[in-house]
Chain A
């Protein structure tokens, strides 16, 4: 019996190896050409790939162009951002009153869980990949990403991932299956299906869906990271070297390194949890590895994830802010080396999320030390940004406003983080709204703000149009005011002892009336944010469709200050090519073996 299994395994291995060899013979993985070797149903050997992309939906379903994939990532992320935003608006509406009045605690818990997962995995990481995909090859003068098809696969793993993460909500009207209600941290034993609550048995299948969805997003992020690393290391243009690599590429490179080490661990932990839930293993049960093992594995991924979401935004600020300050980034190399330092140290701080779990105080002390050390490189960046602004010729355009806002919010988020790196303070504040306020200052205040800055800054390249200035300013001020009202009130709620994750606050913790008012203020801030984002979406869509085409390829006057970087240079060549061709922009023509005929064009 055992021999038969071994033989079967060996045969299957040989078969898979044969498939791999066969595929490697017929496919050139780095090529644009669907069937590079010739033959097949639609391909033929030509030495050239397609001259133009197919039109309509087929273009978007089949594209391997890094710019198209960047746009796909962006649209996907914005949809996820909207879904996550609607979820939190429902939650904040529930929290207007202390008791369970509007959506009920179970639905609240489901929304809480999915809001976190959606914003981190379906909005944050993919949105950064959107910028990376569109602009990293342009910034480093590469023809495309190193592995264009893997790039496409990485993106197309995300939609099924999102559907699985939200599957509980989609099936709950028709089945007994409940959406996951574990919070995004998926702490065991609750998430392992222990007990008889809604998270076990059939009703807990929502968690299984969510775990599988998370696994998809993890695979996607890992593939993307490998692609970014390979692109920056091997596909740089001859004029781009380590000394003049732009700061955004540096942060993407560091972030990709973090993803490479962090996400596979998350994948392993998710599989272990699935096995615990469905196959009777005891990795995270008290009789086996114990619930704290999950927290160790999760946070070993989870804290680098924080920097996976924060480093590229820092790169965006470092990249965009000098453009509107009329001068170069102060201490460019300080920012580069501190980025790398954050990348390294981020793997040594994971248990500061677990100070309250009762782990050995000597171990806790070590994590506190590294947590304090990692504050330095983060602070260095703030000083560099501030010094860049100091005495600069500031132009308060929308991308600049969002950058300055991001720096301001990051100071709030960073300083509140330093406090909680200290064990005694963390023990008091850990399960309160203080933590929620702290990390939202980073995720909304830094990540989302820099995403907006990046979108406004590169809007002319992506669309060939300019956004509407007045609406952009409304968007900024509503977002800035909304963010600070919402999350500062959360910090105060935390100081008053309001525990997080609850749908109600009728229990007698702290001064009830003040807590109620602060919750209402927080909800007000969330609604202000909602209005701001609606204005933004309107601005983007209307400007893309209706704004006149830009005639000037230097809308930010970057040439004046010598900051006309590679992506704008690429855009200039694209526009010149379009004029030479008779006014229509032609698609890039790449070869699969010879020299590129024209690597600078793009279709609209």
Chain B
């Protein structure tokens, strides 16, 4: 189940949290192997702990949330539940990679921009 839940798209989404994890890893290594201070077991433990604990919790939270989202996404897509009126993501998840992640290549968006840009000057017609 786990391998199927974390498919390529999900892993791609989770990369956003890999960057801060990478920064933390970098500093853990620096403080362990290139520290300008002499090694004091107590202070080093606290110092590294301050990096390791957030690292571990972030991994855990990312994993749990990523799994929850991916599982619900799969079950909703299977059941065809996501629709414009039902949810705040206003279209089915299968469309999302196209419209969200590659907007420039989305012809429909471009067309609507071209046709509606003329109206931009008359903004807020709806307000009184």
What residues make up the interface of A, taking CB atoms closer than 8 Å to B?
139, 239-247, 326-334, 336-338, 340-341, 343-345, 347-348, 360-363, 365-367, 369-370, 372-374, 376-377, 380, 387, 390-398, 466-469, 472, 547-548, 552, 555-557, 561-566, 569
CB distance from A507 to the nearest CB of B (A): 36
* Residues of chain B within 8 A of A370, CB atoms compared: 24, 50-51, 54
- Whether A562 contacts B84 by the Cβ 8 Å rule is yes
- Whether A367 contacts B50 by the Cβ 8 Å rule is yes
- Whether A397 contacts B17 by the Cβ 8 Å rule is no
**A332-B89, A391-B109 given as contacts; is B27 within 8 A of A369 (CB)?**
yes
- CA A334 to CA B58, docked complex, whole Å: 14
**A337-B65, A344-B61 given as contacts; is B23 within 8 A of A373 (CB)?**
yes
* Residues of chain A within 8 A of B99, CB atoms compared: 327-328
Which of A241, A331, A555: most chain B CB closer than 10 A? A241
- CA A472 to CA B127, docked complex, whole Å: 11
* Residues of chain B within 8 A of A566, CB atoms compared: 87-88
- Of B69, B109, B127, which one neighbours A555 at CB under 8 angstroms? B127
- Whether B116 contacts A366 by the Cβ 8 Å rule is no
- Whether A366 contacts B123 by the Cβ 8 Å rule is no
The residue in chain A whose Cβ has the minimal distance to the Cβ of B27 is A369
- CA A111 to CA B40, docked complex, whole Å: 45
* Residues of chain A within 8 A of B61, CB atoms compared: 340-341, 343-344
Q: Give 1 or 0 for each of B59-85: 1 = CB within 8 Å of chain A CB.
A: 001100110111111011000011011
B6 at interface by CB-CB < 8 Å: no
A-B contact pairs, 12 of them (CB 8 A): A243-B93, A327-B109, A329-B100, A331-B16, A337-B16, A370-B51, A370-B54, A376-B19, A377-B20, A394-B120, A566-B87, A569-B85
Sort A-B residue pairs by CB-CB distance and give the 9 closest, nearest first. Answer: A246-B88, A244-B87, A369-B27, A348-B54, A243-B73, A241-B72, A366-B50, A373-B20, A239-B86
**A244-B76, A331-B100, A563-B90 given as contacts; is B13 within 8 A of A552 (CB)?**
no
Which of A360, A365, A561: most chain B CB closer than 10 A? A365
B126 at interface by CB-CB < 8 Å: yes
- CA A468 to CA B75, docked complex, whole Å: 45
- Of A241, A338, A360, A374, which one neighbours B43 at CB under 8 angstroms? A360
- Of B50, B69, B71, B127, which one neighbours A333 at CB under 8 angstroms? B69
CB distance from A567 to the nearest CB of B (A): 9
* Residues of chain B within 8 A of A247, CB atoms compared: 88
* Residues of chain A within 8 A of B46, CB atoms compared: 363, 366
B101 at interface by CB-CB < 8 Å: yes
- Of B16, B70, B90, B110, which one neighbours A380 at CB under 8 angstroms? B16
CB distance from A423 to the nearest CB of B (A): 13
- Of A241, A245, A326, A557, which one neighbours B126 at CB under 8 angstroms? A557
- CA A552 to CA B126, docked complex, whole Å: 9
- Whether A242 contacts B72 by the Cβ 8 Å rule is yes
* Residues of chain B within 8 A of A341, CB atoms compared: 16-17, 20, 58, 61-62
The residue in chain A whose Cβ has the minimal distance to the Cβ of B46 is A363
* Residues of chain B within 8 A of A241, CB atoms compared: 72, 75-76, 81
- Whether B90 contacts A331 by the Cβ 8 Å rule is no
**A337-B14, A337-B62, A345-B58 given as contacts; is B20 within 8 A of A363 (CB)?**
no
* Residues of chain B within 8 A of A397, CB atoms compared: 123-124, 127
- Whether A244 contacts B23 by the Cβ 8 Å rule is no
- Whether A347 contacts B104 by the Cβ 8 Å rule is no
- CA A373 to CA B27, docked complex, whole Å: 10
* Residues of chain A within 8 A of B128, CB atoms compared: 466, 468-469, 547-548
* Residues of chain A within 8 A of B96, CB atoms compared: 328, 332
- CA A397 to CA B29, docked complex, whole Å: 49
CB distance from B98 to the nearest CB of A (A): 11
- Whether A366 contacts B27 by the Cβ 8 Å rule is yes
- CA A400 to CA B35, docked complex, whole Å: 48
- CA A320 to CA B98, docked complex, whole Å: 21
B57 at interface by CB-CB < 8 Å: yes
CB distance from B94 to the nearest CB of A (A): 11
- Whether B37 contacts A361 by the Cβ 8 Å rule is yes
- Whether A330 contacts B123 by the Cβ 8 Å rule is no
- Whether B16 contacts A338 by the Cβ 8 Å rule is yes
- CA A393 to CA B113, docked complex, whole Å: 5
* Residues of chain A within 8 A of B76, CB atoms compared: 241, 243-244
B4 at interface by CB-CB < 8 Å: no
- CA A465 to CA B126, docked complex, whole Å: 12
B2 at interface by CB-CB < 8 Å: no
CB distance from A580 to the nearest CB of B (A): 20
* Residues of chain A within 8 A of B126, CB atoms compared: 466, 552, 555-557
* Residues of chain A within 8 A of B71, CB atoms compared: 242
Which of B21, B31, B40, B84: most chain A CB closer than 10 A? B84
* Residues of chain A within 8 A of B8, CB atoms compared: none
Q: Give 1 or 0 for each of B27-47: 1 = CB within 8 Å of chain A CB.
A: 100010001010010011011
* Residues of chain B within 8 A of A556, CB atoms compared: 126
Which of B27, B88, B109, B110: most chain A CB closer than 10 A? B88
- CA A370 to CA B109, docked complex, whole Å: 39
- Not counting A362-B40, A565-B90, A566-B87, a sample of 18 additional A-B residue pairs whose C-beta atoms are within 8 angstroms of each other reads A239-B86, A241-B72, A241-B75, A243-B70, A244-B93, A245-B88, A331-B101, A337-B13, A338-B17, A341-B17, A362-B44, A366-B31, A366-B48, A374-B20, A391-B103, A393-B120, A395-B124, A562-B90
* Residues of chain A within 8 A of B43, CB atoms compared: 360, 362-363
- CA A337 to CA B16, docked complex, whole Å: 7
- CA A198 to CA B84, docked complex, whole Å: 61
- Whether B87 contacts A332 by the Cβ 8 Å rule is no
